[in-house]
Amino acid sequence: MTAAALRPARLGPRDVVRVGAVGLRTRPMRAFLSALGIAIGIAAMVAVVGVSASSRADLDRALAALGTNLLTVAPGSTLTGERARLPVESEAMVARIAPVREVSAVGLLEDAKVYRTSRIPETDTNGIAAYATRTDLRAATGAALRSGTWLNGATASFPATVLGSTAARRLGIGHAGPDVQVLIGRTLFTVVGVLDPAPLAPELDSAALVGWPVAQARLGFDGHPTTIYTRSRDASVEQVREVLGATANPEAPNEVAVSRPSDALAARKAAGEAFTGLLLGLGAVALLVGGVGVANTMVISVLERRAEIGLRRSLGATRSQIRTQFLAESLLLSLLGGAGGALLGTLVTAVYALYQGWPVVIPAWAVAGGMAATLVIGAVAGLYPAVRASRLSPTEALSAA
Amino acid sequence: MIALRDVTKEYAGGVRALAGVSLHVEPGELVAIVGPSGSGKSTMLNVLGTLDRPTSGTVHIAGHDVGRLPDAKLSALRAHQIGFVFQQFHLAQGTKAIDNVADGLLYTGLGPGARRRRAAQALERVGLGHRMGHEAHELSGGERQRVAIARAVAGDPALLLADEPTGALDSASGDGVMALLRGLHEAGTTVVIITHDREIAASLPRQVRMRDGLITDDSAAAVPS
């Protein structure tokens, strides 16, 4: 029985957790509510990151399917502000650029409006544009057929048309067929095909596409393309882009507008991501408020459990063991909230992504980061109450009972 | 076991709870500290239990100079050498009797299995072997105090301090608790009972009477202090 033999026992990790859970066990409702605050914050953050990642994955999937090597050439405007025109030969010249694998073109038929029948008033054009179309357009743009067939060498010379998805809907045409006809200009055209939406060439959605020869023969088409579509080798897209303007219109390269439709799609998503940042900030605020809730709960818990603290001190608990107990309680509380929130956020992401038809992606870093944030918040929220509990003098604590 | 020398304790505001007390208790004694409320006997218990440090004077408990020990070592001293019994029992609600007792050993460094074994033994010792699975609110007052005593002695402390152990009990339960404490004393434990009940005090081998922070009478005055 010497002074040196007095060594306070260490609590094992299991005992620390068990002692830390005493408060949660005896007041489950309060523990639930204060954990809920943390859970809402974490759920919001995980869901925001998850939804944005899922939509990103959907875009990547779409781009992978559509390809990012599509470049389009369109006439810009002349120096005097008039609309420029691409030379008739531009298509053939573009095809001579070495890395270009596919070339196709459409030519807008400005004077040919599209109607369901001849009885529709002339002004009701439905915003549908008629285009003279090369038969290889579908391969170049990746547009898929929903119904019927695509234009071929034969139908391109006859009054046959393929409708974009929006155009078909506006005209009230569900599917193609030999007896389905629409009026283009003054000629009845048979609808031989209907397209699905074309994400990389959205202008085709509201178009009625007819063959190049029939457009020249019946609709007064002058042969100047208004959009050239090219597919290049993936590695050479940027080089092709640089020379495309000068190749398409060597006389006036500045009158040519070159664009990459996949960039536009990606840019639209990027704009959405700025919004994601804002939502993430809101989630962080919710988390912070949840942390304040935990701190509040802990302060009250320490006040209420002074007798218990006194008893534990009389049973031999050191100051640091009391501190550890309340810190553990705070960490358990916020960890509980964090785990619940991560689960909830994952669930929200999954439901939303499945509803949108996206692949479900929950970035591991978001969940791990959320849990790390809860640990930090639990530690910060619990520190002050825990230190207060440990500083309580045992006699004062016991007499409070 | 206990050696107090000229101990004073003043609280903020100039209240003098102990005004120079010297007391010597040998191992294995059974002592009553008796006095009216305000006599300083509760402060005495806190000082004996190392829950409070004296303003001046020296306190030796089980051979350790309390004034020189840091908080962690004092805590270890309490965990291994001192058992407390309170008037209000201080049992955890919603927890079985055996877990209440086992949790009392939490800070002794024993593993969970050993704690439960010792708790079961201690409950047998106080005659509650059949009530181990009951929660505090399912027990009578006397049984609760016996659970609290089991918790205090489960770690085999050399010194048992009881603060008005029968104060919240009817006389039949109180007698049972007193018999239990006497039994522990006969088994070798040093027991100090603080009470304002002269009848209980008179039934114990040694009485220390207190008034206004001073010892006015010690039935074992022959023992040098």
What pLDDT is attached to residue A329?
93
Q: Which DSSP symbol is given to A69?
A: -
Tell whether B78 is within 8 A of chain A (Cβ): yes
Chain B residues in contact with A313 by the CB 8 A cut-off are 51, 75, 78
Candidate from A3-17, A293-307, B97-111, B191-205 with smallest mean pLDDT: A3-17
Of B64, B103, B109, the CB nearest to A3: B64
Cβ proximity of A401 and A305 under 8 Å? no
**pLDDT surpasses 80 at A265:** no
Contact criterion met (CB < 8 Å) for B73 and A6: yes
pLDDT band for position B225 (cuts 50, 70, 90): very low
Of A1, A313, A318, the CB nearest to B63: A1
What's CA A302's distance to the chain center, in Å? 46
**pLDDT surpasses 70 at A401:** no
Chain A residues in contact with B76 by the CB 8 A cut-off are 6-9, 316, 318
Contact criterion met (CB < 8 Å) for B76 and A316: yes
Tell whether A182 is within 8 A of chain B (Cβ): no
**pLDDT surpasses 80 at A100:** yes
- Alpha carbon distance B19, B212 (integer Å): 8
Contact criterion met (CB < 8 Å) for A315 and B94: no
- Alpha carbon distance B152, A35 (integer Å): 36
pLDDT band for position A2 (cuts 50, 70, 90): very low
Average pLDDT, stretch A264-288? 79
% of chain A at pLDDT higher than 90: 37
Interface predicted TM-score (ipTM) over 0.90 = yes
Contact criterion met (CB < 8 Å) for A8 and B79: yes
User: What does R_g of chain B's alpha carbons equal in angstroms?
Assistant: 17
pLDDT band for position A177 (cuts 50, 70, 90): confident
Min Cα separation A395/chain B (Å): 6
Contact criterion met (CB < 8 Å) for A2 and B88: no
Q: Which residue has the tokens 């929200």?
A: A348
**pLDDT surpasses 60 at B41:** yes
Instruction: Dump pLDDT digits (tens) for A294-343.
Output: 899 899 989 888 889 999 999 999 999 999 999 999 999 999 999 999 99
A interface mutation test: which of B106, B115, B135, B163 has the most A CBs within 10 A? B106
Instruction: Dump pLDDT digits (tens) for B159-180.
Output: 999 998 988 888 888 888 999 9
What pLDDT is attached to residue B221?
61
Instruction: Dump pLDDT digits (tens) for B119-150.
Output: 999 999 888 989 999 998 899 988 999 999 99
- Alpha carbon distance B175, B98 (integer Å): 23
**Cα torsion angle, A350, A352, A356, A358, sign:** negative
Contact criterion met (CB < 8 Å) for B65 and A312: no
Domain boundaries, chain A: 13-63+266-399, 70-259
Q: Which residue has the tokens 């283009």?
A: A184
Tell whether A9 is within 8 A of chain B (Cβ): yes
pLDDT band for position A4 (cuts 50, 70, 90): very low
Chain A residues in contact with B75 by the CB 8 A cut-off are 8, 313, 316-319, 321
Contact criterion met (CB < 8 Å) for A393 and B76: no
**pLDDT surpasses 60 at A1:** no
- Alpha carbon distance B55, B19 (integer Å): 10
Q: Closest chain A residue to B43 measured between Cα atoms?
A: A395
Tell whether B88 is within 8 A of chain A (Cβ): yes
State whether residue A399 is helix, strand or coil.
helix
- For the whole prediction, is pTM greater than 0.95? no
**pLDDT surpasses 90 at A77:** no
Sheet of B64-65, strand order: B15-25, B2-11, B56-61, B64-65
Instruction: Dump pLDDT digits (tens) for A191-213.
Output: 999 999 988 888 899 999 999 99
Q: Closest chain B residue to A305 measured between Cα atoms?
A: B92
Instruction: Dump pLDDT digits (tens) for A116-169.
Output: 988 888 888 888 999 999 999 988 888 889 989 999 988 899 999 999 999 999
Average pLDDT, stretch A81-101? 86
**pLDDT surpasses 90 at A385:** yes
What pLDDT is attached to residue A67?
78
pLDDT band for position A400 (cuts 50, 70, 90): low
Cβ proximity of A212 and A43 under 8 Å? no
Q: Closest chain B residue to A392 measured between Cα atoms?
A: B51
pLDDT band for position A3 (cuts 50, 70, 90): very low
Task: Report the mean per-residue pLDDT for chain B.
Answer: 89
Domains in chain B and their CATH numbers?
Answer: 2-92+140-218 (3.40.50.300)
A interface mutation test: which of B88, B107, B149 has the most A CBs within 10 A? B107
**Cα torsion angle, A42, A48, A51, A53, sign:** negative
Task: Spell out a b/e string for B55-72, using b for 16 or more CB atoms within 10 Å of the CB, else e.
Answer: eebebebbebebeebebe
Of A70, A139, A43, residue with least CA distance to A337: A43
Instruction: Dump pLDDT digits (tens) for B71-116.
Output: 999 999 999 999 999 988 888 888 899 999 999 999 998 889 999 9
**pLDDT surpasses 80 at A273:** no
What pLDDT is attached to residue A239?
86
- Alpha carbon distance A298, A150 (integer Å): 70
Cβ proximity of A370 and A341 under 8 Å? yes
Tell me the three-class secondary structure of chain B, residue by residue: CEEEEEEEEEECCCEEEEEEEEEEECCCCEEEEECCCCCCHHHHHHHHCCCCCCCEEEEEECCEEHHHCCHHHHHHHHHHHEEEECCCCCCCCCCEHHHHHHHCCHHHCCCHHHHHHHHHHHHHHCCCHHHCCCEHHHCCHHHHHHHHHHHHHCCCCCEEEEECCCCCCCHHHHHHHHHHHHHHHHCCCEEEEEECCHHHHHCCCEEEEEECCEEEEECCCCCCC
**pLDDT surpasses 80 at B220:** no
Q: Characterize the bridge pairing of strands A70-75 and A227-232.
A: antiparallel
Phi first, then psi: give them for residue A192, nearest 5 degrees: -95, -15
What pLDDT is attached to residue A280?
83
Which amino acid makes up residue A303? L
- Alpha carbon distance B190, B152 (integer Å): 13
